[in-house]
Amino acid sequence: MTLPSTATVRSVTVPGARLHYEVRGAGPLLLVIGSPMGAADFAPLADALSTEHTVVTYDPRGIAGSTIDDLEQDSTPELRADDVAAILDDLGAEKTSEWVEETMNLIVNTRYNERRLTLFTSNYADIPDDTDPNALLFRIGHRMRSRLHEMCEFVVMDGADYREMPTNGGVDDLLAMWKMRKKTLPAPGRGGRQAHMALSSISTSSGGAFSSEGAPGSARRPSSSRPR
């Protein structure tokens, strides 16, 4: 007999809808989806599979916990495929493995040692919290975050999230959303190494960028070789 597992309930905003999804277990990622069945309908199966897999179930748009803006909008296969892609994007389907971590460390350290121009971008907040999945530290670890702070100046770019844009919306809608949204930029890191900049022009999604050479966001360490 398989005992019910504890599901982590999450949601993600997509154009025209807000999707409810649930995550169980640990291991290789497995999506259990269908329509018009929702997450609750697949709960017993998800519980059984979660002993060896990370199991994701969700409510299709307009069903159960997933709400839609336009009740008359058709739910097409293409639209549902986009919804699943958005859930994977929100979940972070590309789980970091030991090989990925070692490869990333090798790339960063090589460029650091050879003093090459390097630009990193991330949507994760640079906060000293290794328990928050939305924190950069949680995603890349203490060693890599420390190296990036040694290499780079951090620049925070604040903008509206295109996923929250209404159906058939455009740049003007993004700009209006950005002006209405309360700005919550991360606090500067230790040692004052971060340079914060609120963009006057609209960005399609909130995120950050940090560069090892060049300006803005340049490291103060001089370079003896030409960036390649």
Of 65, 91, 117, the last residue of a domain is 91
Cα distances from 28 to residues 54, 151, 208, in angstroms, run 6, 34, 29
170-200: pLDDT as tens digits: 888 888 887 877 554 445 444 334 333 333 3
Cα-flanking dihedrals φ and ψ of residue 101, to 5°? -60, -45
Place 228 in a pLDDT band, splitting at 50, 70 and 90. very low
Regarding whether 170 and 153 lie in a shared domain, the answer is: yes
Last residue of a domain, one of 21, 56, 91: 91
Looking at residue 50, which CATH number applies to its domain? 3.40.50.1820
Asked if 28 and 133 sit in the same domain, the reply is: no
Residue at a domain's end among 47, 70, 91:
91
**216 found inside a domain:** no
- Cα–Cα distance for residue pair 228/116, rounded to 1 Å: 6
Same domain as 102, residue 75: no
Report the share of the chain in percent with pLDDT over 90.
23
Q: Is residue 182 part of a domain?
A: yes
Q: Are residues 106 and 130 in the same domain?
A: yes
Q: Do residue 54 and residue 136 come from a single domain? A: no
**Residues 183, 158: contact at Cβ < 8 Å?**
yes
- Decide: pTM greater than 0.75: no
CA–CA separation, 203 and 219 (whole Å): 24
> How does pLDDT run across 98-116, given as a tens digit for each residue?
767 788 888 899 989 998 8
Each residue's pLDDT tens digit, 118-130 = 888 888 888 888 7
pLDDT band at 89 (very low <50, low <70, confident <90, very high): confident
Per-residue burial over 86-106, b = 16 or more CB atoms within 10 Å of its CB, e = otherwise: bbbebbeeeeeeeeeeeeeee
Query: Is residue 224's pLDDT more than 60?
Result: no
Do 199 and 111 sit in the same domain of this protein? yes
Do 105 and 179 belong together in one domain?
yes
Which residues are CB-neighbours of 175 under 8 A, at least 6 positions away? 160, 202
Residue 84 falls within a domain, yes or no?
A: yes
Identify which of 84, 4, 101 has the alpha carbon closest to the alpha carbon of residue 50. Answer: 4
Query: How much is the pLDDT for 218?
Result: 35
What is the secondary structure of the chain as a DSSP string?
A: -PPPPPPEEEEEEETTEEEEEEEESSSSEEE---SS--TTTTHHHHHHHTTTSEEEEEPPTTSTT-EES-TT----HHHHHHHHHHHHHHHT-SPPPHHHHHHHHHHHHHHHHTT---EEEESSB--S-SS-TTBHHHHHHHHHHHHHHHH-EEEEE----GGGSPTT--HHHHHHHHHHSPP-PPPP-GGG-B-----SS--SS-EEEEESSSSSS--SS--SS---
Structure tokens given for 61: 């748009």
User: Is there a single domain that holds both residue 123 and residue 201?
Assistant: yes
227 inside domain: no
Distance CA 188, CA 194 (A): 6
Number of folded domains that form the chain: 2
Domain check: are 83 and 113 in the same one?
Answer: no
Instruction: Say yes or no: 14 and 113 in one domain.
Output: no
Q: Are residues 160 and 199 in the same domain?
A: yes
Residue at 221 is within a domain: no
Is residue 222 domain-resident?
A: no
State whether 127 and 192 are in the same domain.
Answer: yes
Answer whether residue 128 is part of any domain: yes
For residue 219, tell me if it sits in a domain. Answer: no
> What domain range includes position 126?
98-211
The answer to whether the CB of 212 falls within 8 A of the CB of 228 is no
β-bridge pairing 17-24 and 54-58:
antiparallel
